[in-house]
Amino acid sequence: MKGKQAFYRSFLILALCTVGYFYSQSEHVYRPVDKEAITTFNEGVQVGQRAVPFSLTTLEGQVVDLSSLRGQPVILHFFATWCPVCQDEMPSLVKLDKEYRQKGGQFLAINLTNQESSIKDVRAFVQHYRAEFDPLLDTDGEVMETYQVIGIPTTLILDEEGTIVKRYNGVLTEEIIDEIMDIH
């Protein structure tokens, strides 16, 4: 009797192992991973996440799509003309823009246009500081909201893959600008 029970137990274990093996080899368990789903899941606005794509129009009317800049490092800098800190740091940013472009990067100054009294103010601001960059206009505040900009200036550094590697909330001091230049 004990011999029969041992045989049935062994047979049952073998049958369960066989079923488990074939189930694990089925397509139901192993499906190819959708790379687009992974990319979407990793998008965000925090360090280590891929930057959320956007398109904005510049002061001169050109449309800039963040996704089209993949392959080169990018600085996203949020500012407003009425912000005293933004005014103070603008000469340093004009210099940063020039040096960063010489190193193959892109500097995108994003004006919080929905908080400006007039686009004329933005044009006058850029001309006053002799900035060579053409600021992007966030006219409805959508990009500001997406990137969770709660204070200005706010700056994000993206690597060549579009991943956020650094976020600075507040003024960019000379030390921070040197750090940014050392990143890329």
Asked if residue 49 and residue 20 are part of one domain, the reply reads no
Q: Which two tokens mark 3?
A: 């011999």
> Can you say how many angstroms the Cα of residue 153 is from the centroid of all Cα atoms in its chain?
17
| pLDDT higher than 90, residue 104 | yes
Q: For residue 53, tell me if it sits in a domain.
A: yes
Beta bridge partners of 44: 51
The amino acid present at 43, given as its one-letter code, is: E
| pLDDT interval class at 48 (50, 70, 90) | very high
d(CA 4, CA 28): 36
Q: For residue 40, tell me if it sits in a domain.
A: no
Question: What is the per-residue pLDDT across 168-181, written as a single tens digit (0 to 9) for each?
Answer: 999 999 999 999 99
**Number of domains, the chain:** 2
Question: What is the per-residue pLDDT across 1-43, written as a single tens digit (0 to 9) for each?
Answer: 667 776 667 665 665 556 555 655 655 444 454 444 444 446 6
Asked if residue 113 and residue 60 are part of one domain, the reply reads yes
Asked if residue 49 and residue 137 are part of one domain, the reply reads yes
Strands 164-169 and 154-158: antiparallel
Q: Are 81 and 122 in contact (CB under 8 A)?
A: yes
**Interacting residues of 41 by C-beta distance below 8 A, sequence separation 6+:** none
Output DSSP code: residue 7: H
Question: What is the per-residue pLDDT across 106-132, written as a single tens digit (0 to 9) for each?
Answer: 999 999 999 999 999 999 999 999 999
Q: For residue 37, tell me if it sits in a domain.
A: no
Asked if residue 9 and residue 60 are part of one domain, the reply reads no
| pLDDT higher than 70, residue 166 | yes
Average pLDDT, the chain: 86
User: Could you list the residue range(s) of the whole structural domain that residue 173 is in?
Assistant: 45-183
Query: Which pLDDT score, from 0 to 100, does residue 27 have?
Result: 52
Query: Which pLDDT score, from 0 to 100, does residue 175 have?
Result: 94
On the 0-12 / 13-18 / 19+ scale of CB atoms within 10 A, 44 is: middle
- Give, to the nearest 10 degrees, the angle between helix 84-102 and helix 174-183: 30
Asked if residue 8 and residue 98 are part of one domain, the reply reads no
- Any idea what the CATH number is for the domain that residue 125 is in? 3.40.30.10
For residues 75 and 19, the model is more confident at 75
Asked if residue 138 and residue 89 are part of one domain, the reply reads yes
Asked if residue 69 and residue 99 are part of one domain, the reply reads yes
Query: Which pLDDT score, from 0 to 100, does residue 23 have?
Result: 58
Asked if residue 135 and residue 108 are part of one domain, the reply reads yes
Which pTM value belongs to this model? 0.76
**Interacting residues of 99 by C-beta distance below 8 A, sequence separation 6+:** 181
For residues 153 and 1, the model is more confident at 153
| pLDDT higher than 80, residue 159 | yes
